[in-house]
Chains A and B, each alone.
Chain A
């Protein structure tokens, strides 16, 4: 190589910094701040928030693309635009979540009083009334569904992990997955069709709703329990067998306790998933205005169906009923979120202490 060329090159580069050809580190933030300021100015001129947010995102994308294209070249420019697009997609998904929570809280807080939780709708026209009957109904039906689903789901998971061999095991695994996709309304129709065969058409009972919810709940329990049982180290089982413990006692005394935290989490999440179901209860349990504590006799009220009915047939004047619907929705959403939180807590609290 010609030494003089190298000197020329070195001379040409000597006064340039090493970061030549890339944007300053703060470039995205500066651009973003500028775009946000413009977005805020737009909203202050009366442009809708959604439109302003869109303008902000597009403005940021275009600016950073042009800037990067000029300094860094097309490959890095594309990289920066994709990063912006992916981040905006995430923020966009948060928008409905925030909107739902804010709407439900602001509309539901009107009727969040003691009467709402201690009164049923028996003899209520217009204002007042509450969801006492719907809460007892929801608790009863969900409890019955849990009592049906947990033993079946747990035993099925034990079969899949400890006993399954060959085609039956594979078929069950596959169809449990498929079953998680059954529409809730179909589960409701199934329960109706099943009971209508024995009790005649038009039958409504709490236990029908529990059966429908079980169809939705069992596959979730199986899935989570199976996953947890597979995490139990095989050494534990082998140690038990080596001590002469029968297989069934090994499962009951060693495998299940070890996996208990995960199973409790899974069951709680399954309950959270079905406690808000409306459609299957609408076609099997119906709605009533009074307290019914017997799941084997006649209609019961449940929280989701109560919210739907108050909203769809509010009566005159409609406002009190609409308020009750929103508050019922608020209670429902709070219950579901609490169950989700409890599930995470279970997995923290009861996790087996491992030293590995």
Chain B
């Protein structure tokens, strides 16, 4: 806790006043920037909102333009989360409760390195390595599980499918979820764990009775952080996904819905006029969605922090 302001009648020094003002200003600036992001996006998006629907790219109005993109965004992010979240929990468990104590920190650092790889590199890698590697698997899925709408096919021959985009996203959000969950698992009260072991629980029973319940809200919060990151991820999806517009839950075909972020990255450099405003409007939608997801995630994580240790 910082030392409270002195309340004596000694004069407040000019230096103190300037410094306090500066740092308070910097704090307020953060809030102003966040408000500014919303405001400026809204100002630049407005012309597209009020424009006649024939002027919007596609010619059917802004809702029809943004809806498939939003669908693609949510689909790819949720899929990525379904893949990454269980893996991340398992990895966090491995690092905190299974790996040799001396290696644990180094192994955690290895997983953190996954987060350090720039998204453009993931894009190149997804296109050159991962996509071709999945062609065989998606052909198999199509032939054997084709009756499930997710694998209705026909399978893409390049592998640039929604499935691959989701896999790349999963790799990218994995370290983010792992980092938060790992922190929470490390804070499990030692006494709970030892009590469980003393009662004769096996290692796994101890984890199920003490570590997982203690970390549950952190797992939820971290997953939502990962979701927020996956929703906004741009370059990797833009490079990997072969898009055709439209709404489809077919994961292994050549024609997929694009995502908001990828669509902006692909179209923005060549756009002019109202098309730019339309893209910014879609960016505003993305901002609103990620903001909501992130705020919810932080509320969940902070609530855990309030209660941790004492109970």
A residues near B (Cβ < 8 Å) are: 48, 50, 75-76, 78-79, 82-83, 85-87, 89-90, 92-94, 96-97, 99-100, 103-104, 107, 151-156, 158-164, 168-169, 171-172, 174-187, 189-190, 192-194, 196-197, 201-202, 215, 218-219, 222, 234, 237-238, 241, 246-249, 251, 272-273, 275-279, 282-283, 286, 304, 307-308, 311-312, 325-326, 329, 332-333, 336-337, 340
Q: CA A115 – CA B41 in complex, angstroms? A: 42
The prevalent SS among residues of B at the interface is helix
- Residues of A contacting B59 in the complex (Cβ-Cβ under 8 angstroms): none
B164-181 vs A: 1/0 string, CB under 8 Å? 000000010010001000
Beyond A168-B27, A175-B34, A333-B118, whether A308 also contacts B235 by CB under 8 A is yes
The answer to whether B15 and A248 have CB atoms under 8 Å apart is yes
Per the bound structure, the CA–CA distance linking A219 and B264 in Å amounts to 24
14 other A-B residue contacts (CB within 8 Å) besides A178-B294, A183-B234: A86-B91, A86-B93, A89-B91, A97-B113, A158-B23, A162-B23, A175-B31, A179-B33, A187-B37, A197-B44, A201-B276, A276-B118, A329-B120, A329-B121
Answer yes or no: B254 CB below 8 A from chain A CBs: no
Who on chain A is nearest to B22 by CB? A155
Residues of the A chain whose Cβ atoms lie less than 8 Å from the Cβ of B190? none
Residues of the B chain whose Cβ atoms lie less than 8 Å from the Cβ of A218:
30, 33
Say which size band chain B's interface belongs to. Answer: 35 or more
Contact assessment for B286 and A186 in the assembled complex, using a CB-CB cutoff below 8 Å: yes
Among B18, B19, B107, max chain A CB count under 10 A is at B19
Does B51 have its Cβ within 8 Å of any Cβ on chain A?
no
A273 vs B115: C-alpha distance when bound (angstroms): 9
How many residue-residue contacts, CB under 8 A, span A and B? 280
Residue of A171, A189, A336 with most partner-chain B CB within 10 A: A189
Selected from B27, B114, B119, the residue in CB contact (under 8 A) with A172 is B27
Q: Are A96's CB and B2's CB within 8 A?
A: no
Residues of chain B with a CB closer than 8 A to A197's CB: 40, 43-44
Closest B residue to A156 using CB positions: B26
**A194–B24 touching, CB < 8 Å:** no
Give the contacting residue for B265; candidates A82, A158, A279; CB below 8 A. A279
List of A residues within 8 angstroms of B87 by Cβ: 89, 92-93
Contacting residue for B121 out of A161, A182, A282, A333, CB 8 A: A333
Given contacts A75-B202, A186-B41, contact A312 B129 (CB under 8 A): no
Q: Taking A201-B276, A304-B118 as contacts, is the C-beta distance between A184 and B234 under 8 angstroms? A: yes
Instruction: State the majority secondary structure of interface residues on A.
Output: helix
- B309 interface hit (Cβ, 8 Å): no
Is B306 engaged at the interface, CB distance under 8 Å to the other chain?
A: no
- Which chain A positions have C-beta within 8 A of B279? 189
Q: How far is the CA of A198 from the CA of B27 in the complex (A)?
A: 25
21 contacts between A and B (CB under 8 A): A89-B90, A90-B90, A90-B111, A96-B114, A158-B26, A159-B27, A163-B2, A175-B30, A175-B31, A183-B231, A184-B232, A185-B232, A185-B261, A186-B286, A192-B280, A193-B41, A201-B273, A215-B33, A282-B268, A304-B118, A332-B120
Instruction: Return the contact of A272 from the options B99, B116, B265 (Cβ within 8 A).
Output: B116
For the complex, give the distance between the alpha carbons of A154 and B121 in Å: 31
CB of B128 within 8 A of chain A?
Answer: yes
Q: Are B117 and A193 in contact (CB under 8 A)?
A: no
Binding site for A on B (CB under 8 A): 1-3, 6, 13, 15-16, 18-20, 22-31, 33-34, 36-37, 40-41, 43-44, 87, 90-91, 93-95, 98-99, 107, 110-111, 113-114, 116-125, 128-129, 133, 136, 171, 174, 178, 202-205, 207, 225, 228-229, 231-235, 239, 261, 264-265, 268-269, 272-273, 276, 279-280, 283, 286-287, 290-291, 293-295, 297-298, 302
- Chain B: which residue is nearest A307 at the CB level? B120
Q: Which residues of A contact B235 (CB under 8 A)?
A: 278-279, 282, 304, 308
Partner of A283, one of B20, B231, B265: B265
- CB distance A234 to B3 under 8 Å? yes
- Measured between beta carbons, the chain A residues less than 8 angstroms from B205 are 75, 79
B20 touches A90 (CB 8 A): no
Q: In whole angstroms, what is the CA distance A161 to B294 when docked?
A: 23
Query: Given the interface contacts A182-B290, A278-B235, A332-B118, does A238 sit within 8 Å of B3 by beta carbon?
Result: yes
Q: Are A50 and B133 in contact (CB under 8 A)?
A: yes
Residues of B within 8 A of A99 (CB): 125, 129
B13 contact set on A, CB distance < 8 A: 246, 248
CA distance A336 to B51 in the complex (A): 43
Partner of B283, one of A185, A249, A278, A340: A185
Flag if B295 contacts A178 (CB, 8 Å): yes
What is the bound-complex CA distance between A308 and B124, given in angstroms? 9
* Distance (whole angstroms) from the CB of A267 to the closest CB of chain B: 15
CA distance A146 to B96 in the complex (A): 34
Chain A residues contacting B273 (CB-CB under 8 Å) are 201
Residue contact B19 to A100, C-beta cutoff 8 Å: no
- Known A-B contacts A182-B37, A215-B37; A247 and B16 likewise in contact (beta carbons under 8 Å): yes
Question: In angstroms, how far is the closest chain A Cβ from the Cβ of B307?
Answer: 17
Asked if B128 and A107 make an inter-chain contact with CB atoms under 8 angstroms apart, the answer reads: yes
Question: A234, B113: Cβ atoms under 8 Å?
Answer: no
Known contacts: A156-B26, A276-B118. The answer to whether A337 contacts B269 by CB under 8 A is: no
- A103, B232: Cβ atoms closer than 8 Å: no
For A249, give its contact among B15, B28, B124, B264 (CB under 8 Å): B15
In the complex, the answer to whether B24 meets A163 with C-beta atoms within 8 Å is yes
Report chain B residues within 8 Å CB of A307: 120, 124
Decide: A333 near B290, CB < 8 A? Known: A83-B204, A156-B27.
Answer: no
- Which chain A residues lie closer than 8 Å to B204 at the CB level? 78-79, 82-83
With A79-B203, A83-B204 as given contacts, are A193 and B44 in contact (CB-CB < 8 Å)? Answer: yes
